Amino acid sequence: MAVPSVAAQPRPSILSRISESRNALGFGFMLPAAVLLLVFLTYPLGLGVWLGFTDARIGRPGIFIGTENYQYLWSDGVFWLSVFNTLLYTISASIVKFVLGLWLALILNENLPFKSFFRAIVLLPWVVPTVLSAIAFWWIYDSQFSILSWALQQMGLIDHRINFLGDPTNARASVIAANVWRGIPFVAITLLAGLQTIPQSLYEAATLDGASRWQLFRYVTLPLLTPIIAITMTFSVLFTFTDFQLIYVLTRGGPVNATHLMATLSFQRGISGGQLGEGAAIAVAMIPFLLAAILFSYFGLQRRKWQQGGGD
């Protein structure tokens, strides 16, 4: 870009010099997004960490109290129960979502009639607002008029109504099932996208070498799909771990805190209970888990690089 300057030429105006400098122009173009994110994302993130060290309440700015919130939470049985619930919820829902999602992706990858129609309707649970579909599940899980109980009774499989949301174990299973229902489409469609990048010729070559269907899956599909599985599942784990809506609609954490997740406990203590400091501390306690998930994703991406034999 070095243009030899001619002495007679007038110096370019400031405006045109700015519009030619990559850095100045880049700064200007980044400004709107940067301001939005710094003000409403980075700053609140820091503010949240700070609030965790204060005794702030709604309507009263807090004063610094050190780690008192965390000490209190450390000895709080309900908090530990919510940690346990969150882990149980995340791990079991993610495993089921992965297995069923992969299965559905493999089915949709077959040569089907009305293929795009099926792909479209499969995505529906993911498109519809979670709260609204959760309300439908609330009605499906109703203690008196549950359609599931009725259907199972008609089939003669059970002799009395299932108390879906009133019993701790049932409630946990019910919310996990609803989360799986909502999460399968995302896993299935992203994995399907990954499946379509695998060349058919690999399958043909393997078949000629006498590979069985299981071997095709195990030695061709799975290794080539691993990077996308890593990314998809990290996102899935992240969103399941921080889930709030489903629990808030279905159980509000009950019965006896059996389904309280860290996010719902944080809302209950911080907003409903007005103890902003304590709520913020619970939210901050989720960060280490999220970092672990992100690191996992990072190493998943690293693996992709050497698998493709590329440096970057």
For residues 228 and 247, give the distance between their C-alpha atoms in angstroms, rounded to a whole number. Answer: 28
> Which positions from 166 through 205 interact with another protein, judged by CB under 8 A?
181, 184-185, 189-190, 193-194, 196-197, 199-200, 203-204
Candidate list 239, 254, 255, 274; residue touching another protein; CB under 8 A: 239
Stretch that binds another protein, among 5-13, 26-34, 66-74, 168-176 (CB under 8 A): 26-34
Stretch that binds another protein, among 4-12, 70-78, 109-117, 164-172 (CB under 8 A): 109-117
Check residue 2 for interaction with another protein (CB under 8 A). Answer: no
Check residue 105 for interaction with another protein (CB under 8 A). Answer: no
> Which positions from 250 through 279 interact with another protein, judged by CB under 8 A?
262-263, 266-267, 270-271, 276, 279
> Which positions from 123 through 162 interact with another protein, judged by CB under 8 A?
123-125, 127-133, 135-137, 139-140, 142, 145, 147, 150
| Residue 57 φ then ψ, to 5° | -125, 170
> Which positions from 206 through 235 interact with another protein, judged by CB under 8 A?
207, 228, 231-232
Cβ distance to another protein smaller for residue 67 or 196: 196
Cβ distance 179 to 239 under 8 Å? Answer: no
3-state secondary structure of 64: strand
Cβ distance 206 to 220 under 8 Å? Answer: yes
For residues 98 and 146, give the distance between their C-alpha atoms in angstroms, rounded to a whole number. Answer: 28
- Written as one string, the DSSP assignment of 272-299 is IS--HHHHHHHHHHTHHHHHHHHHHHHH
Minimum CB–partner distance for residue 75 and another protein (Å): 22
For residues 179 and 242, give the distance between their C-alpha atoms in angstroms, rounded to a whole number. Answer: 12
Minimum CB–partner distance for residue 139 and another protein (Å): 6
Residues written for the chain = 312
Nearest to 138 by CA among 288, 249, 17: 249
Cβ distance 266 to 279 under 8 Å? Answer: yes
Minimum CB–partner distance for residue 23 and another protein (Å): 5
Minimum CB–partner distance for residue 47 and another protein (Å): 4
Q: Tokens 């306690």 label which residue?
A: 285
Minimum CB–partner distance for residue 4 and another protein (Å): 18
